[in-house]
Chains A and B, each alone.
Chain A
Amino acid sequence: MTIPSERTTLASAQTRMADASSAPSDKARRTALEMIAPLGVPIMTLGMVVYFGFATTGFLSIGNITDVCANSALPVIVAVGLTIPLVMGEFDLSISALAGLATVLYAQLVAKEGVDPAIAILVTLAASLAAGAFNGFMIAYVGLPALVATIAMSSFLVGMQFYVSGSVQIYGGFPETLVAFSRSNIGPVPTLVIVAAIIVLGAWVLLEKSVFGRQVKAVGGNAEAARLAGVDVRRTRALGFILCTFAASIAGILFANKQAVAYPLAGLDVLLPSFTAAFIGAATFRFGEFNIFGTVVGVLVTQIAANGLILLGVPNYTTYVFQGVILLVALIFARVVALRGTN
Chain B
Amino acid sequence: MTSDRVEDRRRPVVPVLDVRELSKRYPGTLALDRVSLHVAPNEILGLAGHNGAGKSTLTRMLTGAGRPDSGDMLLDGQSIRFRSPDDAITHGVAQVPQPLMIIPNLTGRENLLLGMHTRLFRPGRENGEQLWFGGSKSAVAAVELMAEHLHLTKILNVKVGRLRPVTQRLIMIGRALLRNPRLIILDEPTANLATPEVELLFSIIRPLARDRASVIYVTHRLDEMLDLCDRVIVMRQGRVIAEKDARILDKKELSGLITGADLSSKIKTLVADVDIHGQVHAGGPSADRSKTPHAGEEVLCCEDLCALPRTRGVDLRLHRGEVLGIAGRDGSGRTSLLRTLWGDRQVTSGRIVVRGVPTRLASPRDAIKAGFAYLPEERAANAVFPLASVAANATLPWLSRFAGPGGLMRAREEISSVSTLLKRLDVRPLKGAAYARIGAFSGGNQQKVVIARWLLGGADIFLFDEPTQGIDVGAREQVYEVIRELASDGAGIIVVSSEAEELARLCSTVHLMRDGAVVQTLAGDDVTESAISLAIVAGEIEIPAAEPWVGAGRARVSGRSPPDAAI
Contact = CB atoms under 8 A, between A and B. Distances in A.
Interface string B410-434: 0100000000000000000101100
A9 B432 contact: yes
Interface in A197-223: 205, 209-212, 214-215, 217-218, 221-222
Contact of B431 (A1, A24, A212, A228): A1
Interface residues of A toward B: which range? Answer: 35 or more
Nearest to A286: B387
Interface string A3-22: 10010011011111111111
B139 interface: no
6 contacts: A12-B436, A17-B439, A210-B406, A212-B407, A214-B395, A228-B344
Interface in B382-423: 382-388, 392, 395-397, 399-400, 402-403, 406-409, 411
Given A22-B31, A25-B66, A224-B382, 14 more contacts: A3-B435, A9-B436, A10-B436, A13-B437, A15-B28, A16-B436, A25-B60, A28-B27, A210-B407, A214-B399, A217-B388, A221-B388, A225-B382, A230-B365
Interface stretch (B51-59, B117-125, B148-156): B51-59
Interface of A: 1-3, 6, 9-10, 12-28, 31, 205, 209-212, 214-215, 217-218, 221-222, 224-232, 289
A9 B400 CA distance: 26
Nearest to A205: B408
Contacts, number: 141
B217 interface: no
Interface residues of B, number: 56
Q: From DSSP, what is the main secondary structure of chain A's interface residues?
A: helix
For the complex of A and B, 3 pairs with smallest distance between CB atoms: A3-B432, A13-B440, A221-B385
B543 to A, nearest CB: 31
Residue with the greatest number of chain A CB neighbours at <10 A, chosen from B392, B396, B400, B406? B396
B52 A222 contact: no
A2 B383 CA distance: 29
Contacts of A27: 26-28
Interface of B: 26-29, 31, 51-57, 60, 65-66, 342, 344, 363-365, 367-368, 374, 376, 381-388, 392, 395-397, 399-400, 402-403, 406-409, 411, 429, 431-432, 435-437, 439-442, 453
B388 A225 contact: no
A25 B387 CA distance: 20
Nearest to B364: A230
A18 to B, nearest CB: 6
Nearest to A219: B385
Nearest to A27: B26
A94 to B, nearest CB: 27
Contacts of B28: 15, 18-19, 27
A13 B436 contact: yes
B408 A210 contact: yes
Contacts of A214: 392, 395-396, 399, 409
B406 A231 contact: no
Nearest to B365: A230
Nearest to A16: B440
Nearest to B399: A211
Contacts of B431: 1-3
Nearest to A19: B29
Contacts of B65: 25
Contacts of A218: 385, 388, 392, 396
Nearest to A231: B396
Nearest to A10: B437
Contacts of B395: 214
